[in-house]
Structure 1
Amino acid sequence: MVSAPWINPQDTYRDDIQGVRAIGAILIALYHIWIHKVSGGVDVFFVMSGFLMTGVLIRQLESTNRIQPFVFWGNLVKRIAPSACTVLLATLFLGYFFVPEPLWSQFIKEVTFSALQIENIGLMRNSVDYLARELPPSPVQQFWALSIQVQFYVFLPLILALVLGLSKRPNSTLPFITAIAVVIAASFLYSVVETTSNPVSAYFNPGARAWEFFAGVLLAFLLPYLQLNAALRNALGLIGISALLLCGILVSESMKFPGYIAIIPVTAAVLLIISGAGSSQTPAKRLLSHPWLKALGKVSFGIYLWHWPLLAFTIEYTGNSHLSLPLGLAIILLAVVLAMATNRYIEEPIRKKKYQAGKAWAPYLIGGAFLTPVLATAATWSYYIQSTIASQSHYNLQQAIINDVSRPDERQDASHIPHDELVTVKELLPDAYTDGCHQDITSPEVRICTYGDRHSQASVALVGGSHAAQWLPALDTIGKQGRLKILNITKSSCPLGALPDSDPSCMEWNRQLVEELSLLKPLAVITNSTRATLAESPEHVPPSYVQQWKKLESLGIKVIAIRDNPAFDFDAATCVARHPEDALACAKPREQSLSSIDPSIAHLRTLSNLNLIDMSEFFCTQRTCMTVTNDHLMYRDAEHLNVLYVLSLTNELHEKLARTSPDIFPPTLIVPRRPTQSRN
């Protein structure tokens, strides 16, 4: 290992950096509560983390002539785990009372991800998961930033040891500086490209954020060489403070972040670090070193962690995301109080505790002691949910089929819906999802799975996107009772007929699909006839649908098209859980979802193979589209039907299929019905 004669041991603790951290934490809270934009405070934290943690490793290298990752990580575990796990455990407890039941599974999953410091990875996955993209932010979503920091801390000592070890000139930092500069440039370019193409995923992507940390790393090595006079340092400090305070204003809501826009907060952090270096007291440094800012900076980590669940639970309780000034200030004040209490009674006693030499593993035991209750609580809660699914799903599936279905009624509410259905509604999916048969958004491969009577020679193909796949539970039952094989050929966000906003793979999938259908020769293709999911456009039949129907007509394949169900601009299941006795709070006027006349009817004149089914009477009254009946939640999210409700419509769907295609679906009752008692 090389020696480090260039290291400047000054400034092991800087009051002005505490002030910067305080401003960053308060800005984050202010923007989260009232402004709902990017503040730049997190990016400042990233730069500061890179700078401060590199300083820790530099001093370790100077004192021991080597970098000790195990010791470095242990100190971080002792610093981070107690407060982070305390917040997570408190959030878990409060979540039981404030988080709506349909969101329990996702909430527990995110708590686990946060405890394991991979919350950003989970959020990246949700951003491309068609069924999870519309979920509201969880009370632990703020842990994405801490997760990226911890991931950076894992690799930082290894990278520094590698680069410094490869340096051939002990008295020169040039090879190291060059290597770090290359990392910064590569990460920045990746951030710009990824933010342009996948902005939601890029926001949580550690690769797109690495350059911010390494800007601080590079500055830690360059700072001793920067000899600036007091006037220039003061100018840089004032510019840095201005950039930090104005970043959120300069970044408009239309700008994709981080990308190149993150230069603003990163530059602000770099300028503030440079301006505060040395012993000279500039006005900017004196401002940032104010005792109040120092005190807030000391607990800025806790403020960041506590403010978000307080905000999330307040919004959930009040039902209003636009909080008043007094209520918002109360959240900030409570976050500060909790942060100070956490620091005084948990962080400081643990941090000050001394350990005997050779007990480098002691911090890890402390981390494990705090982590275990969080994971144990989350696992217990998750086990309860999974047990509910396992023990109740089969019973509920059977009951959904045999009970008589209640048609939508504006007087109905959710007060009699079983609690288990609220808990499991998002976990019960059509079998095509759990079997891996429902193709993802980006893959063009056509996957085919068989349901219904798998041994039957007669087959019907269920084709399209998720709005087609949601009918599989009912069709599976119909196929089993009617000795008909059901071929599931579906793909996320890709109907039969690619749309302008579909993933490019959808076009290729549709091309291959027609080829497969020409070989399979099903008796009919069941798909969607209209598109009613876009708030900005009325229900319509996309031209691409008609083009594919014509191709199937040329192949002699019948098309049975089911009218699209209404969609909502909110998570319907969660809304019902929040308003169990007010069904109209989770409804919308029919004319906002469906046309007065099914627009697909116009194509009956020109297509001999087209047959239409309209199930809208089971979603809407004459005036209102509902999300709940007396018996079931109708939706599992904003636009997809609840599996149990689809099953309850099995006979109704079969009756309509039998009317339009009696040669395929004999007009016999599928399952004997047991009338349900009115609960109004």
Structure 2
Amino acid sequence: MHPNSPAETTRARRPGYIAEIEGVRGLALTLVVLFHLFGQGRVSGGVDVFLLISGFLLTRSMLKRTERPGERFLTAHFGRVLLRLVPAALVVLIFTAVMTLLIAPTTRWVQTGRELIASALYYENWELIGSQLSYGAAGPSTSPLQHFWSLSVQGQFFLVWPFLVLALAVLARRLGGRPATWVGIVTAVATIASFVYAIALTGLDQPVAYFNSFTRFWEIGVGCLLAFVAGRLSLPQVARIVLGWTGLALIVTSGFFIDGAHLFPGVWTLWPIIGVSLVILSSGEPTRVGPDRMLEWAPLRFFARISYPLYLWHWPILIAYLEYRDQSRVGVLGAVVVLTISVTLAWATQKFIAEPALRLRVSWRPRATLLAPAAALLSVVLVVGAGVFTLERAREAELATAAAPSSDHPGARALTETPPPTWDADTPFRPSVDAAFDDLPDLYERGCVQKWRSEPGMDEVLTCEDDSVSSPRRTIVMSGGSHVLHWYPALKAVAEARGWSLVVVDKDGCRLTTRAGGKDGLSESCHSWNDKAIPYLIDLHPDAVFTVATKTPEVEGDVEISYPGQVDAWARLAEGGVPVIAIRDTPRFLGDVPECVEENAADPASCGRDRSDVFLPTSPVRDEPGLSDEVTLLDLTDAFCTQTRCDPIVGNVLAYRDQDHMTATYSATLATALDAALREAAPWLD
């Protein structure tokens, strides 16, 4: 049937139906998919359109229900929402679980399992903030469930908003006010507060702001406010046509002009938000030359119909394709393949799963439509949760075993002792690639290391106190980022043997430095932390501060470097009577070491790097002007590399937990070499 035939126009303009919104929703989510596949890392702004429309439609519906009894309505409402969202999502979650087991490295199984649970329970955005955005994590781009973050924000809104609206309606009636007025005022205040918070947090920590429910609410809130206005404005047709085309142009061009991946959800998010707002305000009666005609175009209606399952499918299919082809980016041909598969699966999911599920609303009671999908989600959560629990307990048991000394796992001693120790070649290395990422110093479990992020308060100086020695002979402070802290097991063993107190004053991802070095790639939060930490260390007056001296390269072609700001920080400490022990950095690799070792099990040495690609012939910090005589330089490169090669497995121990951090197991094997280096270079500590 022709899209502009009388029958079609009547269908599109049935009471309460806004054809433009359906078209824009399809366009927006299709743009999301196309930009993910062809946009080379840019985002389209379609998710922002999607969030606004969600707020608009739900609030519009809720305003009509505020006079009805709450409990019965809520049961029916949540039943409809779950029947609409859960069946397709459940299929994709099950596919992702199977895909992970079949083709993903085992190193990702636990994290993907956690995200499966988070996606099923609609808190994936917070899971990404808590784990994938943690310091040293691979990043959300590796997750086949990253795209569930926006569905989680929407799901949280769908859960909370009806209760809030109905509560405000009840309160308004009791106080003699109009429910719609109360809801409008609260919505406006919450939207403004969220917008201000989004701007502030985007400036401080944009990756966290991107996934944060509170920074995203303002986009939904604008949609909620539009629900009070749309349909009440009587605009001339010319104005509606101009507004409609302007809004549509803003939506389509957003991804081309704005790097939303690094700017949203701050001020620039207004570009797509204003766009969809103009389209909604211009909607209404059909026009002859307005965008409503295009938005009712049959192909666009098709994509609108499958937009939700298409959004669900495209990302895990893309990740599966990249994993299977062992690629980091998808080319044009690959993108076409992924798009074709995703559209086919989306159509099949919509036709054979989503639409039949929605028809159950006719034959099922409201309570059944609520309980059945909830039970299905809970089943997935329980199964995946049991698997994650089992894997985590196995990791914990393995790491507990790995912490015990073993003659078959000499680690660094294989490079530092003469003659080198021998071990049973048939004994598996430890820790396994599955457990390596969790092989951290135990002090991270104590919550006394400042996080690397830039959110307010994350420049506060925290201290990890050591009470293992009752009357310490010396006090040594470790400070200077994670490449200092991964020495903790080694230095802790030395400290206990020599009767020292070992204290940690640290912020992850933050070198001990001053602003004197100019641009050094560190955040303002890091510099603010250093402004407080250096005077704190001087006041603490330890016998020495143990820190890192250089930075090894993690990109092919770069070289080992030092930072003038660090040398300046050491000079300030020395002036305050605090000696500094600065150790040369450890090797960094070109990718995740455990994953590489798993993929190259027959030849794990291929995951290593030539020593000359990692280290300069001599430490570059020795050539820094102003290097204080109070700084003791240590170099334990020979405890990681032979004269020609830096290998991932040393002395039957997997030495690295990711691209550049030591496993705690390997660090512990460095204690003897570190003790010898300290006795030679810093005899005054005896």
TM, length-normalised to structure 2: 0.84
Partners of 1:532 and 1:538 within 8 A in 2: yes
Partners of 1:439 and 1:490 within 8 A in 2: yes
1:324-363 matched pairs, under 5 angstroms: 324-354=331-361, 360-363=366-369
Alpha-carbon distance in structure 2 between the residues aligned to 1:563 and 1:401: 28
- Which residue pairs with 2:104 in the alignment? 99
1:553–1:104 distance in 2 versus 1, CA, 3 Å:
same
**Which residue identity lines up with residue 478 of structure 1 in the other structure?**
V
**Which residue identity lines up with residue 297 of structure 1 in the other structure?**
A
Alpha-carbon distance in structure 1 between the residues aligned to 2:204 and 2:576: 38
1:485–1:225 distance in 2 versus 1, CA, 3 Å:
closer
Alpha-carbon distance in structure 2 between the residues aligned to 1:401 and 1:191: 54
Partners of 2:450 and 2:506 within 8 A in 1: yes
Cα displacement (A) at 1:319: 2.3
- 2:277 is aligned, of 260, 270, 279, to 270
1:242–1:581 distance in 2 versus 1, CA, 3 Å:
farther
Cα displacement (A) at 1:76: 1.2
- Which residue pairs with 1:31 in the alignment? 35
SS of the equivalent of 2:546 reads strand
- Which residue pairs with 1:527 in the alignment? 547
1:148 aligns with 2:153: yes
1:480–1:171 distance in 2 versus 1, CA, 3 Å:
closer
1:145-224 matched pairs, under 5 angstroms: 145-165=150-170, 166=172, 177-224=184-231
1:258-407 matched pairs, under 5 angstroms: 258-279=265-286, 284-354=291-361, 360-399=366-405, 403-405=409-411, 406-407=414-415
Provide, for residues 107-160 of structure 1, a one-character-per-residue CA deviation record: whole Å limited to 9, x for no partner. 222222222211112223347632437564311110100011112212322343
Cα displacement (A) at 1:65: 9.7
Structure 2's unaligned 5+ residue stretches are: 1-12, 417-424, 453-457
1:292–1:597 distance in 2 versus 1, CA, 3 Å:
same
1:472–1:93 distance in 2 versus 1, CA, 3 Å:
same
Provide, for residues 453-477 of structure 1, a one-character-per-residue CA deviation record: whole Å limited to 9, x for no partner. 6346323514112212111112233
- Which residue pairs with 1:648 in the alignment? 669
Alpha-carbon distance in structure 1 between the residues aligned to 2:436 and 2:572: 37
Q: Which moved more, 1:312-321 or 1:167-176?
A: 167-176
Provide, for residues 277-313 of structure 1, a one-character-per-residue CA deviation record: whole Å limited to 9, x for no partner. 2355655223222233223212211111111111112
Alpha-carbon distance in structure 2 between the residues aligned to 1:173 and 1:136: 41
SS of the equivalent of 1:422 reads coil
Tell me how large the CA RMSD over aligned residues is.
Answer: 3.6
- 1:491 is aligned, of 500, 507, 512, to 507
- 1:454 is aligned, of 460, 466, 469, to 469
Alpha-carbon distance in structure 2 between the residues aligned to 1:394 and 1:307: 40
Alpha-carbon distance in structure 2 between the residues aligned to 1:585 and 1:230: 68
Number of residue pairs aligned between Structure 1 and Structure 2: 646
Alpha-carbon distance in structure 2 between the residues aligned to 1:219 and 1:383: 45
SS of the equivalent of 1:72 reads helix
- Which residue pairs with 1:676 in the alignment? none
Cα displacement (A) at 1:419: 8.6
Cα displacement (A) at 1:424: 0.9
Partners of 1:34 and 1:322 within 8 A in 2: no
Alpha-carbon distance in structure 2 between the residues aligned to 1:609 and 1:338: 66
Q: Which moved more, 1:609-618 or 1:88-97?
A: 609-618
Cα displacement (A) at 1:216: 1.9
**Which residue identity lines up with residue 437 of structure 2 in the other structure?**
K
Provide, for residues 31-89 of structure 1, a one-character-per-residue CA deviation record: whole Å limited to 9, x for no partner. 11121201011011112111222232234347769994343223212222222232122
SS of the equivalent of 1:198 reads helix
Cα displacement (A) at 1:581: 4.5
> How much identity, in percent, do the aligned residues show?
27
Cα displacement (A) at 1:348: 2.4
SS of the equivalent of 1:398 reads coil
**Which residue identity lines up with residue 482 of structure 2 in the other structure?**
S
Alpha-carbon distance in structure 1 between the residues aligned to 2:404 and 2:393: 18
**Which residue identity lines up with residue 23 of structure 1 in the other structure?**
L
Provide, for residues 484-512 of structure 1, a one-character-per-residue CA deviation record: whole Å limited to 9, x for no partner. 54344443234444566324123212211
Alpha-carbon distance in structure 1 between the residues aligned to 2:303 and 2:626: 72
Alpha-carbon distance in structure 2 between the residues aligned to 1:100 and 1:128: 20
1:514 aligns with 2:521: no
SS of the equivalent of 2:654 reads coil
Alpha-carbon distance in structure 1 between the residues aligned to 2:443 and 2:70: 58
Alpha-carbon distance in structure 2 between the residues aligned to 1:11 and 1:435: 59
SS of the equivalent of 2:199 reads helix
SS of the equivalent of 2:285 reads coil
Cα displacement (A) at 1:554: 5.9
SS of the equivalent of 2:263 reads coil
Structure 1's unaligned 5+ residue stretches are: 1-8, 409-413, 666-680
TM, length-normalised to structure 1: 0.84
Provide, for residues 78-110 of structure 1, a one-character-per-residue CA deviation record: whole Å limited to 9, x for no partner. 222222232122211211223323333322222
Cα displacement (A) at 1:225: 1.7
Cα displacement (A) at 1:175: 6.0
